[in-house]
Structure 1
């Protein structure tokens, strides 16, 4: 089923799925909000508190500035790596979502 792309809103993967299947788009629109919310909660629970404590320790001198910088560099590398991994998984997962939605 081909759908016009003129009214595409939302994130990139939702937009791509919109072109694959209308049913997948409806399912994906509801689930993408849940996944983004869960990711935000997990980051707030696990990453932010650790970084806050590490920042306090660096300010108080309990952790060296070099160790703190190394941790920040690792966090940046992890975010870039996660973004690259997401790009690799983007098309296969969008097609899988469309296929599963059509079979339901």
Structure 2
């Protein structure tokens, strides 16, 4: 008997991947924030000090990128939810035609 392939509709597959990205975003941001202590010199490298302002800029940029990415993902998910609800509602689908 041939193996049946699992078919996932493209729209639901993309929505699931976007939700996976939403779930991974906090983890990614945490990892990027944990890099900050690695930016400071150790041992013999003390002469090459890193300014605190540079580390603060790094944290601020990561924070702003996280906000922007979460907003963009939210808008895409909201848009795809709206398309799904319009496709499932026969009254609205008939009104658009």
Output the TM-score relative to the length of structure 1: 0.41
Structure with more helix by fraction: 1
Q: Larger Cα Rg: Structure 1 or Structure 2?
A: 2
Structure with greater contact order relative to length (CA < 8 Å, sep ≥ 6) = 1
TM-score by length of 2: 0.43
